[in-house]
Protein backbone atom coordinates (compact mmCIF):
# COMPACT_ATOMS: atom_id res chain seq x y z
CA UNK A 1 0.00 0.00 0.00
CA UNK A 2 1.30 3.45 -0.93
CA UNK A 3 1.87 5.93 1.87
CA UNK A 4 -1.12 8.05 2.83
CA UNK A 5 -0.45 11.76 3.32
CA UNK A 6 -2.86 13.73 5.50
CA UNK A 7 -2.59 17.49 6.01
CA UNK A 8 -3.83 18.62 9.43
CA UNK A 9 -4.59 22.32 9.80
CA UNK A 10 -6.12 24.36 12.61
CA UNK A 11 -6.84 27.89 13.75
CA UNK A 12 -6.95 29.64 10.40
CA UNK A 13 -8.95 32.54 11.82
CA UNK A 14 -10.02 34.10 8.54
CA UNK A 15 -6.45 34.56 7.31
CA UNK A 16 -6.65 33.69 3.62
CA UNK A 17 -3.04 34.70 2.95
CA UNK A 18 -1.67 32.23 5.48
CA UNK A 19 -4.09 29.51 4.38
CA UNK A 20 -3.03 29.79 0.75
CA UNK A 21 0.61 29.69 1.87
CA UNK A 22 0.00 26.45 3.76
CA UNK A 23 -1.94 24.86 0.90
CA UNK A 24 0.80 25.80 -1.56
CA UNK A 25 3.30 24.10 0.74
CA UNK A 26 1.13 20.97 0.80
CA UNK A 27 1.11 20.94 -3.00
CA UNK A 28 4.87 21.50 -3.15
CA UNK A 29 5.39 18.44 -0.98
CA UNK A 30 3.40 16.16 -3.23
CA UNK A 31 -0.12 17.00 -2.15
CA UNK A 32 -2.39 15.40 0.41
CA UNK A 33 -4.76 12.47 0.15
CA UNK A 34 -6.97 14.06 2.80
CA UNK A 35 -7.29 17.26 4.80
CA UNK A 36 -8.29 17.36 8.46
CA UNK A 37 -9.20 20.82 9.71
CA UNK A 38 -9.47 21.26 13.47
CA UNK A 39 -11.58 24.37 13.83
CA UNK A 40 -11.43 28.12 14.43
CA UNK A 41 -11.89 28.72 10.74
CA UNK A 42 -13.21 32.24 10.23
CA UNK A 43 -13.21 34.47 13.31
CA UNK A 44 -10.89 37.47 13.68
CA UNK A 45 -9.35 37.59 10.22
CA UNK A 46 -9.89 39.86 7.24
CA UNK A 47 -11.38 37.20 4.91
CA UNK A 48 -13.77 34.86 6.78
CA UNK A 49 -15.96 34.06 3.79
CA UNK A 50 -13.07 33.48 1.39
CA UNK A 51 -11.46 31.13 3.90
CA UNK A 52 -14.66 29.11 4.29
CA UNK A 53 -15.09 28.90 0.53
CA UNK A 54 -11.49 27.80 0.04
CA UNK A 55 -11.74 25.15 2.73
CA UNK A 56 -14.89 23.70 1.20
CA UNK A 57 -12.96 23.18 -2.05
CA UNK A 58 -10.41 20.87 -0.41
CA UNK A 59 -10.62 17.24 -1.50
CA UNK A 60 -11.44 14.55 1.07
CA UNK A 61 -11.72 17.13 3.83
CA UNK A 62 -13.05 16.57 7.33
CA UNK A 63 -13.83 19.40 9.69
CA UNK A 64 -14.50 19.84 13.38
CA UNK A 65 -15.64 22.95 15.16
CA UNK A 66 -13.53 25.26 17.25
CA UNK A 67 -14.83 27.44 20.02
CA UNK A 68 -14.96 30.51 17.79
CA UNK A 69 -16.93 28.62 15.13
CA UNK A 70 -19.50 27.78 17.80
CA UNK A 71 -19.53 31.35 19.07
CA UNK A 72 -20.29 32.62 15.57
CA UNK A 73 -22.79 29.99 14.49
CA UNK A 74 -24.72 29.56 17.74
CA UNK A 75 -24.21 33.01 19.24
CA UNK A 76 -22.59 31.47 22.33
CA UNK A 77 -19.60 33.73 22.78
CA UNK A 78 -18.97 34.40 26.50
CA UNK A 79 -19.73 37.92 27.61
CA UNK A 80 -16.84 40.38 27.47
CA UNK A 81 -15.64 41.09 30.99
CA UNK A 82 -13.85 44.42 30.75
CA UNK A 83 -13.26 44.79 34.53
CA UNK A 84 -10.91 41.80 34.40
CA UNK A 85 -8.65 43.58 31.91
CA UNK A 86 -5.87 45.10 33.97
CA UNK A 87 -4.39 47.52 31.43
CA UNK A 88 -5.74 49.97 28.83
CA UNK A 89 -4.21 47.74 26.15
CA UNK A 90 -6.24 44.77 27.35
CA UNK A 91 -9.41 46.84 27.54
CA UNK A 92 -8.96 47.96 23.93
CA UNK A 93 -8.13 44.40 22.86
CA UNK A 94 -11.35 43.16 24.47
CA UNK A 95 -13.36 45.81 22.65
CA UNK A 96 -11.75 44.94 19.30
CA UNK A 97 -12.36 41.23 19.82
CA UNK A 98 -16.04 41.86 20.54
CA UNK A 99 -16.39 44.12 17.51
CA UNK A 100 -14.58 41.60 15.33
CA UNK A 101 -16.89 38.76 16.34
CA UNK A 102 -19.94 40.86 15.53
CA UNK A 103 -18.45 41.79 12.16
CA UNK A 104 -17.56 38.18 11.31
CA UNK A 105 -20.88 36.83 12.54
CA UNK A 106 -22.79 39.30 10.38
CA UNK A 107 -20.81 38.33 7.29
CA UNK A 108 -21.09 34.58 7.93
CA UNK A 109 -24.81 34.64 8.63
CA UNK A 110 -25.59 36.90 5.66
CA UNK A 111 -23.64 34.64 3.30
CA UNK A 112 -25.48 31.51 4.44
CA UNK A 113 -22.64 29.76 6.30
CA UNK A 114 -24.29 29.66 9.72
CA UNK A 115 -25.93 26.23 9.33
CA UNK A 116 -22.75 24.67 7.96
CA UNK A 117 -20.69 25.93 10.89
CA UNK A 118 -23.37 24.95 13.40
CA UNK A 119 -23.37 21.37 12.08
CA UNK A 120 -19.63 20.81 12.52
CA UNK A 121 -18.91 18.01 14.99
CA UNK A 122 -17.00 18.45 18.23
CA UNK A 123 -14.56 15.68 17.29
CA UNK A 124 -14.00 12.76 14.98
CA UNK A 125 -12.20 9.45 15.18
CA UNK A 126 -10.30 7.55 12.51
CA UNK A 127 -8.17 4.43 12.29
CA UNK A 128 -5.04 4.78 10.16
CA UNK A 129 -3.67 2.06 7.88
CA UNK A 130 -1.06 1.11 10.51
CA UNK A 131 -3.83 0.52 13.03
CA UNK A 132 -3.29 3.73 15.01
CA UNK A 133 -6.49 5.08 16.53
CA UNK A 134 -6.83 8.84 16.01
CA UNK A 135 -8.95 11.34 17.90
CA UNK A 136 -9.21 14.84 16.43
CA UNK A 137 -10.62 17.66 18.56
CA UNK A 138 -10.09 21.40 18.77
CA UNK A 139 -8.99 22.04 22.37
CA UNK A 140 -9.03 18.80 24.35
CA UNK A 141 -11.18 15.66 24.39
CA UNK A 142 -14.79 16.66 24.91
CA UNK A 143 -14.11 20.40 24.69
CA UNK A 144 -13.73 23.02 21.99
CA UNK A 145 -12.61 25.65 24.52
CA UNK A 146 -10.88 25.88 27.89
CA UNK A 147 -7.17 26.04 28.54
CA UNK A 148 -6.22 23.39 25.99
CA UNK A 149 -2.65 22.18 25.61
CA UNK A 150 -0.48 25.16 26.50
CA UNK A 151 3.24 24.98 25.78
CA UNK A 152 4.57 25.57 29.27
CA UNK A 153 2.07 23.41 31.15
CA UNK A 154 3.87 20.43 32.73
CA UNK A 155 2.82 17.00 31.53
CA UNK A 156 1.47 16.13 34.97
CA UNK A 157 -0.94 19.07 34.79
CA UNK A 158 -1.92 18.49 31.16
CA UNK A 159 -2.44 14.73 31.49
CA UNK A 160 -5.92 14.88 33.12
CA UNK A 161 -7.26 16.65 30.03
CA UNK A 162 -6.31 13.59 28.00
CA UNK A 163 -7.38 10.79 30.33
CA UNK A 164 -9.23 7.77 28.91
CA UNK A 165 -9.02 9.01 25.32
CA UNK A 166 -9.05 5.49 23.81
CA UNK A 167 -6.71 6.68 21.08
CA UNK A 168 -3.08 6.27 20.13
CA UNK A 169 -2.83 9.73 18.53
CA UNK A 170 -4.72 12.84 19.60
CA UNK A 171 -4.69 15.88 17.30
CA UNK A 172 -5.53 19.31 18.75
CA UNK A 173 -5.12 23.02 18.09
CA UNK A 174 -6.65 25.94 20.05
CA UNK A 175 -3.53 27.33 21.76
CA UNK A 176 -1.76 28.27 18.51
CA UNK A 177 1.48 26.59 19.59
CA UNK A 178 2.87 23.39 17.99
CA UNK A 179 3.66 20.61 20.45
CA UNK A 180 4.40 16.89 20.51
CA UNK A 181 3.90 15.05 23.80
CA UNK A 182 2.99 11.68 25.25
CA UNK A 183 0.21 11.93 27.84
CA UNK A 184 -1.37 8.88 29.47
CA UNK A 185 0.22 6.69 26.83
CA UNK A 186 -1.24 8.61 23.89
CA UNK A 187 0.80 10.77 21.55
CA UNK A 188 -0.73 14.25 21.62
CA UNK A 189 0.06 16.59 18.74
CA UNK A 190 -0.86 20.25 18.80
CA UNK A 191 -0.63 21.26 15.15
CA UNK A 192 -0.35 24.97 15.94
CA UNK A 193 -2.06 27.74 14.00
CA UNK A 194 -2.10 28.50 10.30
CA UNK A 195 -3.50 32.00 10.56
CA UNK A 196 -2.66 33.45 13.97
CA UNK A 197 0.53 31.93 15.42
CA UNK A 198 1.52 32.88 18.97
CA UNK A 199 5.02 31.38 18.85
CA UNK A 200 8.07 33.66 19.07
CA UNK A 201 9.01 32.94 15.45
CA UNK A 202 5.53 33.96 14.25
CA UNK A 203 5.44 31.24 11.61
CA UNK A 204 2.30 29.57 10.35
CA UNK A 205 2.25 25.91 11.28
CA UNK A 206 0.46 22.74 10.30
CA UNK A 207 1.21 19.01 10.30
CA UNK A 208 1.60 16.37 7.62
CA UNK A 209 0.92 12.78 8.60
CA UNK A 210 2.73 10.19 6.48
CA UNK A 211 1.33 6.76 7.17
CA UNK A 212 1.29 3.29 5.66
CA UNK A 213 0.63 -0.16 7.08
CA UNK A 214 3.85 -0.20 9.10
CA UNK A 215 4.67 3.37 10.12
CA UNK A 216 3.34 6.77 11.13
CA UNK A 217 5.50 9.85 10.62
CA UNK A 218 4.46 13.26 11.96
CA UNK A 219 6.02 16.17 10.09
CA UNK A 220 5.63 19.69 11.47
CA UNK A 221 5.65 22.40 8.81
CA UNK A 222 6.43 26.03 9.70
CA UNK A 223 6.04 28.77 7.11
CA UNK A 224 6.53 32.47 6.68
CA UNK A 225 3.61 34.34 5.11
CA UNK A 226 3.06 37.83 3.76
CA UNK A 227 2.09 39.87 6.80
CA UNK A 228 2.33 43.19 4.98
CA UNK A 229 -0.35 42.06 2.53
CA UNK A 230 -2.57 41.20 5.48
CA UNK A 231 -2.00 44.57 7.14
CA UNK A 232 -2.94 46.27 3.87
CA UNK A 233 -6.15 44.25 3.65
CA UNK A 234 -7.08 45.05 7.24
CA UNK A 235 -6.59 48.74 6.54
CA UNK A 236 -8.45 48.66 3.23
CA UNK A 237 -11.61 47.13 4.68
CA UNK A 238 -11.45 49.10 7.96
CA UNK A 239 -11.45 45.86 9.91
CA UNK A 240 -12.73 46.46 13.47
CA UNK A 241 -9.83 44.54 15.02
CA UNK A 242 -7.07 45.72 12.72
CA UNK A 243 -4.91 47.06 15.54
CA UNK A 244 -5.19 43.90 17.61
CA UNK A 245 -4.57 41.56 14.67
CA UNK A 246 -1.62 43.64 13.53
CA UNK A 247 -0.15 43.46 17.03
CA UNK A 248 -0.67 39.71 17.24
CA UNK A 249 0.96 39.10 13.87
CA UNK A 250 3.85 41.45 14.62
CA UNK A 251 4.37 39.85 18.02
CA UNK A 252 3.90 43.16 19.83
CA UNK A 253 0.67 42.02 21.44
CA UNK A 254 0.31 38.62 23.06
CA UNK A 255 -2.62 36.99 24.86
CA UNK A 256 -2.22 37.24 28.65
CA UNK A 257 -1.52 33.53 29.13
CA UNK A 258 1.32 33.66 26.60
CA UNK A 259 2.93 36.59 28.42
CA UNK A 260 2.61 34.88 31.80
CA UNK A 261 3.93 31.51 30.69
CA UNK A 262 6.78 33.00 28.68
CA UNK A 263 8.30 34.51 31.82
CA UNK A 264 7.45 31.65 34.18
Q: Would you state the pLDDT for residue 264?
A: 38
144, 137 contact by CB (below 8 A): yes
**Phi/psi of residue 78, each to 5°?**
-60, 150
Q: Is the pTM of this model over 0.85?
A: yes
Q: Would you state the pLDDT for residue 28?
A: 98
Tens-digit pLDDT profile for residues 50-59: 999 999 999 9
Long-range pairs of 57-62 with CB within 8 A, sequence gap ≥ 24: 58/23, 59/34, 59/35, 60/33, 60/34, 60/35, 61/34, 61/35, 61/36, 61/37, 62/34, 62/35, 62/36, 62/37, 62/124, 62/136
| Domains of the chain (ranges, CATH numbers) | 4-263 (3.60.21.10)
Which residues of the chain, if any, have pLDDT below 50?
85, 259-260, 262-264
Q: Would you state the pLDDT for residue 105?
A: 97
Amino acid sequence: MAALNIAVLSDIHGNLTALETALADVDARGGADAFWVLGDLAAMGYAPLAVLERLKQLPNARFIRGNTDRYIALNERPATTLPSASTPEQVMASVEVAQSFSWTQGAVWAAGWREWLAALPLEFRETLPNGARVLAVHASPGADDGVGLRPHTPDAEAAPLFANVEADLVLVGHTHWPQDRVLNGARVINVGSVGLPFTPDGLASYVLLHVDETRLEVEFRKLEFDREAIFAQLEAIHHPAKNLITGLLRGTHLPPWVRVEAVA
